[in-house]
Amino acid sequence: MFWLSSQFKPLSKESDKKKNQPLISPSVTADFHREVDPRIWRACAGASVQISTLYSRVYYFPQGHIEHFSSLISSSSFSTALVPCVVSSVELLADPITDKVFAHLSLQPISSEHFAPSNFSRYKSDEEENKVVTTFAKILTASDANNGGGLSVPRYCTDSVFPPLDFHADPPVQKLFITDIHGVVWDFWHIYHGTPRRHLLTTGWSKFVNGKKLIAGDSVVFMRKSVDEMFIGVRRALVSGGDEYYGGGKKGFRRTGKGKLNAEAVSEAVNKAVQGYPFEVVYYPTAGWSDFVVRAKDVEASMAGY
């Protein structure tokens, strides 16, 4: 167990040697730094997720960082509640095992007297520079997640994301080529048939379910970035219990949302932040969890009411 206290030790040369060590399990770091298109990343993360932009003012909450990570770190005795910082780099990435999107942020602590908004120029984010991606997310039913079946697709998705079907054909059918968040192209047959008629993804869907280890309660996100570009992402359902794995025992992955990071890296981030050193954090957007890097204007607006 790692203990964080108000009496932090100065960083040593040994600590500096560790700065290049991965923040995440070494077994999956090889594909971690393939950056994801910001529009696709945000669509997969969900509309409620807000990631601070480059050079923006934020507050870092050590306690929230620890809670976001795991119960293996105790924060019973440290006094710093929040640290004003500037975002010095942002990488939007995706977990190669779970497909969950996450962000790798580099933060520079800054003194309060230099933290005024007037000291920071407005940085135009990718979100403002690019057109909006058309998206549709569907929570999978038990039937959808059955690896021997197909996916029932609501009409809104087929109308807004998929290419138009030829309804004069009998039956109307088309082959779709859809790219996942890692750049892998999956092919699916989209057909409109049945009684009553409905839109289905048939051939290719079972392969996708097996490949991504999908279960009922997971969501698939269909995205259209342009006329010829379609993407597919995954949002995992959370399951309570600290050691529940899916996908082949320990070679699978946890669905608790925790345990993805190196505990030493979290401890070191808190240590550096409190001492005023630059530090790095990894953030997995997770429903129901409080963020630990929050836009300064949001924190200041909240504090102004007290």
- Which tens digit of pLDDT belongs to each residue from 39-97? 999 999 998 888 888 999 999 999 888 877 655 555 554 567 899 999 999 999 999 88
The predicted-structure confidence for 199-258, as pLDDT tens digits, reads as follows: 999 999 999 999 999 999 999 999 999 878 999 999 998 765 544 444 433 445 566 555
The Cα-based distances of 162 to 174, 178, 184, 222, 225 in angstroms read 10, 10, 18, 9, 11
- Give φ, ψ of 45 to 5 degrees: -70, -35
The answer to whether the beta carbons of residues 58 and 294 sit under 8 Å apart is: yes
The answer to pTM > 0.75 is yes
Please, are residues 201 and 151 in contact by the beta-carbon 8 Å criterion? yes
CA distances from 259 to 50, 62, 71, 228 (A): 22, 17, 9, 38
CATH number, span 134-251: 2.40.330.10
- Domain ranges, ordered by start, for the chain: 2-123+256-303, 134-251
For 88, other C-beta atoms within 10 Å of its C-beta total 13
Task: Compute φ and ψ for 16, nearest 5 degrees.
Answer: -65, -35
Q: Which among 114-118, 259-263, 279-283 has the top mean pLDDT? A: 279-283
